[in-house]
Amino acid sequence: MRRRVLLGGAAAAVLAPIIPDPALALDCGLAVPPSGPTFRDLPETRSKDGRLETELRMALKQVTVGGIAMTMAAYNDDFPGRIYRLKPGDRLRWNLKNRLKPAGVPKNPPVEGFDPASLTITNVHTHGLQVDPGPGGDDVITPVAAGEDKCYTYDIPGPETGIPQPAGLHWYHPHKHGATSHQGWQGLAGPFIIEGDIDRVPEVAAARERVLLINELLFDETGATPSAVMLPSTGFSPFTADPAVPTDIRFPVNGVLTPDIDIAPGQTQRWRVLAAGPHRFFDLQIDGHELWQIGQDGIPFARARRMDRILLAPGNRAEFILKGGAPGRYGVRALCYDQGHPGGPRPEKLLATLAVAGAPQDGRLPDALVRPPAIPPDAPHGTDRTLVFSGDISGKPVKFYIDGKQFDATRTDQTVKVGTWEDLTLVNKDVFQHPFHIHVNPFMVIEQNGVAVADPVWWDTIRLPSRGSVKVRMYFRPDVTGLTVYHCHILPHEDNGMMGTILLSKTGDPAERDNPADPVSPASCPV
């Protein structure tokens, strides 16, 4: 059974940034298979006594996805990465060991000036965690070359800060400018779960948890992600290498292609869904089932919101309660969606099958949830600003810009005074729907294309409509300072220039960057 219902009236105004333009969503009608492989839960590690210390080793791994042998990459040999569960106030420390090697190197000579080994340089970003971005923290500026180690330490904000880290789903992934999309296409991603108040809501606590990490694996005829300059393609695969090699693409869920996810009739499950791919938007629908959304990008809602579809741009996370319907098999779909790619609408993908069977249950759906974060009423208003996104795909390499400039780590593009709030108007002059992401501090979406959003919620990644605009309101928490970045989360766009730096300053003076208070972290974590 297929159902395509869009909320109307007041609900449509409330949820405008979440539901895409219906004219851009095309129902292609893929058939549900009679059976599929079993859904796989990811392994996990919990913090203990307020600490979680581990190694984070990155290396190539041989995997089989949908019967295809591939050479991808993994954290600690887990594909995709394991779940790390933490609480506000915990300290996370890991020793990143970069053991990556080039794979998928084209036989033809590479583009002049391009070194395939550059795609093995890395670092790690804790997407959604409101932590120190300086050296040794959520530092995405410092590179870690193949064969090197680097120590990272993150203090998750606890109640003592007055602004604890919200409870929800976040994630970790590489963030070396120029190599981010390549390593994302290799499957390098894993979830964080921060536990807290929403987990104690009775209807949420009673629901069975499912964590779904959706990868986007791009590979050549050898089964490896091409170590080459990548260009947009108008074919089935959205990118091709230069020099050209045939490529294909797969979207496994927790490393399994189109798994069966079991649920009993009337049973409630809490799905935590992460769009971990570098490029694809997922216009998510489950045939014949409503989705009761309880959080977005790791931040809970005040009340559950009934949804028929949820749009996930690259980097987005959505959490919702699902109640099993009548016995049967129902498609979990990424509907056809036009995100502005030159190849036209991205084709529908059957991500999984919801297999409803077993003894009936009577799970309860949530209504009231928890109090979301709020901007302190006495916080001063800083300087509102506008960022303009644009691109040019006519040359090699393609180029993308923010305010007419490509990324330069030595340049300070924006400086803000922490403890203040600002409105940012994000103008998209491009046909691509660029997903805007900023590190450390989330934001509320308050306008889309000049229309106010009723009852706004918090995000950390929001799609910018084609040739349109979004206005967001951001509070810069006072206890986190240092240099970080904002960028398009279509990672090939970020790698090709669409990123800027932002200095979180105690005084609002750009000169603070020249006198960082953060000590340089050791190469490896102290024992």
Give the pLDDT confidence of 183-228 residue by residue, as tens digits. 999 999 999 999 999 999 999 999 999 999 999 999 999 999 999 9
Coil, helix or strand for 123? Answer: coil
Q: How high is the pLDDT of residue 15?
A: 32
* Residue 143, preceding peptide bond in cis (omega within 30° of 0): no
pLDDT digits (tens, 9 = 90+) for 452-495: 999 999 999 999 999 999 999 999 999 999 999 999 999 999 99
90-to-59, 164, 197, 419 alpha-carbon distances in Å: 27, 11, 16, 23
Q: How high is the pLDDT of residue 321?
A: 98
Rounded Cα gap, residues 174 and 177, in angstroms: 9
Among the listed residues 512, 498, 496, the one whose alpha carbon sits nearest the alpha carbon of residue 178 = 496
Rounded Cα gap, residues 64 and 66, in angstroms: 7
Under the banding of pLDDT at 50, 70 and 90, the label for residue 508 is confident
- Burial (CB < 10 A; 0-12, 13-18, 19+), residue 157, is buried
Under the banding of pLDDT at 50, 70 and 90, the label for residue 24 is very low
Rounded Cα gap, residues 282 and 397, in angstroms: 26
Strand partners, 321: 270, 292
Q: Are 248 and 237 in contact (CB under 8 A)?
A: yes
The DSSP bridge pattern shows strands 299-307 and 291-296 to be antiparallel
Which helix (DSSP H) or strand (DSSP E) does residue 52 occupy?
strand 51-65
Residue whose token pair is 């959003």: 453
Radius of gyration over alpha carbons of the chain, in Å? 22
Strand partners, 461: 437
Averaged pLDDT for residues 62-73: 96
Q: Residues with Cβ < 8 Å from 116, sequence gap 6 or more? A: 102, 105, 110, 227, 228
Under the banding of pLDDT at 50, 70 and 90, the label for residue 239 is confident
Amino acid at 7: L
HSE, side-chain direction, 13 A CA sphere, residue 526:
4
Amino acid at 244: A
pTM of the full predicted structure? 0.93
Residue whose token pair is 């009739």: 265
pLDDT digits (tens, 9 = 90+) for 97-142: 999 999 988 877 667 778 999 999 999 999 999 999 999 999 999 9
Among the listed residues 526, 425, 452, 438, the one whose alpha carbon sits nearest the alpha carbon of residue 483 = 438
| C-alpha 50: how far from chain center | 26
Coil, helix or strand for 200? Answer: helix
Rounded Cα gap, residues 139 and 151, in angstroms: 11
Among the listed residues 270, 285, 286, 301, the one whose alpha carbon sits nearest the alpha carbon of residue 459 = 301
Three-class HEC string of 263-282: ECCCCEEEEEEEECCCCCCE
- Longest distance between any two alpha carbons in the chain, whole Å: 65
Rounded Cα gap, residues 119 and 450, in angstroms: 40
Q: Are 466 and 434 in contact (CB under 8 A)?
A: no
Terminal-residue alpha carbon distance, the chain: 57
* Cα dihedral: 352, 333, 471, 435 (round 10): 60
- Please give the mean pLDDT across all residues of the chain: 91
pLDDT digits (tens, 9 = 90+) for 404-449: 999 999 999 999 999 999 999 999 999 999 999 999 999 999 999 9
Q: Are 232 and 341 in contact (CB under 8 A)?
A: yes
Question: Kindly report the CA angle at 194 between 160 and 334, in degrees rounded to 5?
Answer: 145
